[in-house]
Amino acid sequence: MKILVLAGGLSPERNVSLSSGALVCQALRDRGHQVALMDLFYGLDGALDGENLYVAPIPESFKRVAREAPDLEQVRASRGGESPSAIGPGVLEMCARADVVFLALHGACGEDGRIQAALELLGVPYTGSGCLGSAIAMDKDLTKRLVDGLVKTPQWETVTVTGENIPELTERTRLPAVVKPIASGSSIGVYIAKNRTELKKALEESARLGGRTVIEEYIKGREIQVAVLGDRALPSIEIIPKEGFYNYANKYQPGAATEVCPSRIPQKWEQDVGSAALAVFRAIGLSVYARADFIVASDGTPYFLEINTLPGMTPTSLVPQEAAAVGLDYGKLCETIIQISLEARKERL
């Protein structure tokens, strides 16, 4: 099969995406497929013939995720030219020539439904959920509104943070609180504020990241995440950071967190968290695969936080670990995602 892996882009999760894409590309090549890895933002980047990407070596630097998110202004400047497009030269043409596009993109430059809509209009098969479900899942507020009543979720409010309203928000917000951008992933911009000073700092960062922010009730409990693959929930995984919470650095630096799969929780809790993940997955119209994040309280109640439609596929990512728990190795997982995606496309046509 001729497969184009799209990665990179202009999201703050760019480096995570490049790592996911590099690993997916290598795994699919190892299983005998003809596979190219392409950066959504850079595109062909001066290459005369995109077909040479199918035999190009995979940069080793892509496989590791730096501790810090990338400087996107620097990335923009490095492409050169004045085009405002987030899609680089030759990308859509390369997509149209592939049998399927494997979306290894993360965040607002690939997980929010826009690239899915473009590929739909081109008639190009791609992996993961469709454009509408992707767009809904990317919006934490809208997702919570749609599933509230189906599953338990921490109390929240959505605000637009500006320099002018930070003092008022700092004063009236009940602590402790979780502050997070409305449309971001990999815990970028997420803070647990335990006092007014921490809250003010979190809100200032929210304003810097665009302003649209979810302020959420802090729930004390165990961090449990559940992948959905096809029509079933995979065994859950518990995250135990060695320091702080499961932030960007703890997600992608080897050894920064202990990950236990299957989670060592009672069977009833496992059933409940799996059922909740499926309920969210179905309610917002997702397909193929996703990963839902929960805090499970001491009484076993799962509190839904968010769902990711293109979860990471890096060396420390969670979905590959959950798949391995049911006998799917990394390469087979990548092939399974493609197979289910092609079947889902037939159903949508």
Contact 2, 68 (CB under 8 A): no
pTM of this prediction? 0.90
Residue 230's alpha-carbon distances to 106, 150, 252, 288, 290, in angstroms, are: 20, 20, 26, 5, 9
- 21-to-41, 55, 61, 63 alpha-carbon distances in Å: 14, 15, 12, 8
124 neighbors 98 (Cβ within 8 angstroms): yes
What is residue 339's predicted lDDT score, i.e. its pLDDT? 97
What's the rounded Cα separation, in Å, for the pair 67 and 252? Answer: 7
Where b means 16+ CB within 10 Å and e means fewer, 82-112 reads eeeebbbbbbbebbeebebbbbbbbbbbbbb
Would you state the pLDDT for residue 48? 59
What φ, ψ does residue 13 adopt, rounded to 5°? -90, 20
Domains detected in the chain = 2-126 (3.40.50.20), 138-151+220-326 (3.30.470.20), 156-217 (3.30.1490.20)
Amino acid letter for position 248? Y
pLDDT of residue 349: 62
Using alpha carbons, select from 176, 255, 163, 272 the residue that is nearest to residue 211. Answer: 163
Angle between helices 14-30 and 330-348 (to 10 degrees): 100
- pLDDT for 190 equals 87
Interatomic CA distance for residues 18 and 1, integer angstroms: 22
Per-residue pLDDT of the chain (349 residues; tens, 9 = 90+): 999 999 999 988 899 999 999 999 999 999 999 999 999 999 997 665 788 899 999 988 888 777 777 888 898 888 887 888 999 999 999 999 999 999 999 988 899 999 999 999 999 999 999 999 999 999 999 999 999 999 999 999 999 998 789 999 999 999 999 999 887 644 567 899 999 999 999 999 888 887 889 999 999 999 999 999 999 999 999 999 876 544 444 444 555 679 999 999 999 999 999 999 999 999 999 999 999 999 999 999 999 999 999 999 987 789 999 999 999 999 999 999 999 999 988 876 6
Phi, psi for residue 39 in degrees, rounded to 5: -80, 120
Say how far residue 280 (Cα) sits from the centre of its chain.
16
Beta bridge partners of 308: 291
**pLDDT at 95 (0 to 100):** 96
Tokens at residue 214, please?
């979810």
**Helices marked H in 31-130:** 72-79, 91-97, 114-122
Q: Are 188 and 248 in contact (CB under 8 A)?
A: yes
Distance (Å, rounded) from C-alpha 5 to C-alpha 105?
9
Kindly give the interhelix angle for 140-147 and 131-138, rounded to the nearest 10 degrees.
Answer: 100
